[in-house]
């Protein structure tokens, strides 16, 4: 009998009822801790995405991209520096498609970002960027 088969037999013969009550309590607490942590993590992820979507929805920017980089001081978020020295942070989809020399436009209360290249215009729907956009009404104030 191989060691793997022995290990699988030990696992299959395990009886929770015969376990010391102290260990039972430990495993139960461990299970609930993992469960609560997992629920908390995913609800926090939703909240962060909702907040970011709200901020994005009310942003207004336009200009010529003169620099494209990852901001070391802001968790390596994708960043554009515009000709007027303003910065745009955190739009991965736009950052992947835009290049230095392109113009970028985002109007207030719009979810669309437009990238104007020399020969074409790319329109990006920011609902693709944010996971939980469907839980936020766009006309919310």
Per residue in 72-106, pLDDT (tens digit) is: 888 888 899 999 988 988 688 888 899 999 999 99
100 and 67 in contact (C-beta within 8 Å)? yes
- The pair phi, psi for residue 40, each rounded to 5°, is -65, -40
pLDDT tens for each residue of 117-138: 999 999 988 877 776 555 555 4
DSSP state, residue 8: H
Query: So what's the pLDDT on residue 1?
Result: 64
Report whether pLDDT(22) > 80. Answer: yes
Q: Which residue has the tokens 């909240």?
A: 47
Give percent of the chain above pLDDT 70: 84
CA gap 83, 102 in Å, rounded: 11
Nearest CA to 61 out of 97, 86, 98 is that of 86
Query: So what's the pLDDT on residue 139?
Result: 44
Query: So what's the pLDDT on residue 140?
Result: 46
Nearest CA to 91 out of 115, 120, 121 is that of 115
Report whether pLDDT(47) > 70. Answer: no
pTM, full prediction: 0.61
């Amino acid at each position: 009998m191989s060691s793997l088969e022995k290990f699988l037999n030990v696992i299959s013969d395990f009886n929770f009822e015969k376990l010391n009550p102290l260990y039972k309590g430990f495993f139960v607490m461990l299970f609930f801790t993992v469960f609560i942590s997992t629920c908390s993590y995913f609800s926090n992820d939703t909240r962060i995405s909702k907040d970011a979507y709200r901020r994005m929805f009310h942003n207004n920017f336009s200009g010529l991209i003169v620099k494209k980089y990852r901001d070391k001081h802001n968790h390596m978020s994708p960043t554009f520096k515009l000709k007027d020295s303003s910065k745009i942070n955190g739009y991965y989809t736009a950052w992947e498609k835009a290049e230095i020399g392109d113009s970028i436009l985002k109007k207030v209360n719009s979810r669309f970002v437009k990238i104007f290249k020399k020969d074409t215009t790319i329109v990006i729907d920011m609902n693709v960027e944010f996971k939980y956009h469907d839980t936020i009404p766009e006309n919310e104030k």
